[in-house]
A and B are shown apart, each in its own frame.
Chain A
Amino acid sequence: GESVGLHLPTLSVQEGDNSIINCAYSNSASDYFIWYKQESGKGPQFIIDIRSNMDKRQGQRVTVLLNKTVKHLSLQIAATQPGDSAVYFCAESFSGTYKYIFGTGTRLKVLA
């Protein structure tokens, strides 16, 4: 079935550097994508989303890039801070469904 996966289970980044978290999706019909941040023991928090009619969307210190040709999604975090340490999930959805498919997650560790 369709799945959303991540290339790297753990990413260690030096404080102040930029982080890039990647995600691959398999359903070419997916038209809505979301990134979530989950801190230990808490529920996931919405970071940023993008629809399939866009290639790039920027938020505060975060950018999501969507490459529909290779079915790839990435989250870029600028000037990574200790508070960015968490597990990051991508999720996909498509029109006509109420469901969201989540990837397995990438743990981001920020090194001081």
Chain B
Amino acid sequence: SQTIHQWPATLVQPVGSPLSLECTVEGTSNPNLYWYRQAAGRGLQLLFYSVGIGQISSEVPQNLSASRPQDRQFILSSKKLLLSDSGFYLCAWSFTGSEQFFGPGTRLTVL
């Protein structure tokens, strides 16, 4: 069966510090991969998606970036965090035209 992992589960970072969140998927090949951000009590905002290694589509202009160095690995990064980057970050995978499966999320607090 397929599983999706995210780490860390929680993270507290100072403004201006770098960020690296990792997501890995097991039990499947060639998945579409997604990064979402969710503000407290709000819906899901799509940040990036990837349909293959090295292929990244950005949905929201910001100081975040994403990379997919391997088929089942998706990384969210920032060189300098802003206060507004705080939120709940969710990674997801899917095959085109079917349901998305979400990871457990990373709670990021920028102070």
Binding site for B on A (CB under 8 A): 32, 34, 36, 41-46, 49, 89, 91, 93, 95, 98-100, 102-105
How does the 8 Å CB contact mask read for B72-89 relative to A, with 1 for contact and 0 for none?
000000000000000000
In the complex, the answer to whether B42 meets A98 with C-beta atoms within 8 Å is: no
In the complex, the answer to whether A98 meets B102 with C-beta atoms within 8 Å is: no
22 contacts between A and B (CB under 8 A): A32-B97, A34-B99, A34-B100, A36-B102, A41-B105, A42-B104, A43-B90, A43-B105, A44-B102, A46-B99, A46-B100, A49-B98, A89-B44, A98-B96, A99-B46, A100-B34, A100-B94, A100-B100, A102-B43, A103-B43, A104-B42, A105-B42
For B49, give the chain A residue with the smallest CB separation.
Answer: A98
Chain B positions within 8 Å of A41 at CB level: 105, 107
Q: Tell me whether B109 is interfacial, beta carbon within 8 Å.
A: no
Complex: A107 Cα to B104 Cα, angstroms: 19
Binding site for A on B (CB under 8 A): 32, 34, 42-44, 46, 49, 51, 57, 59, 90, 92, 94, 96-105, 107
For A87, give the chain B residue with the smallest CB separation.
Answer: B41
For B97, give the chain A residue with the smallest CB separation.
Answer: A32
Shortest beta-carbon distance from A70 to chain B in Å: 22
Complex: A31 Cα to B34 Cα, angstroms: 20
Complex: A91 Cα to B44 Cα, angstroms: 10
5 extra interchain contacts, Cβ-Cβ under 8 A, other than A42-B105, A91-B100, A102-B43? A32-B98, A41-B107, A42-B104, A43-B90, A44-B90
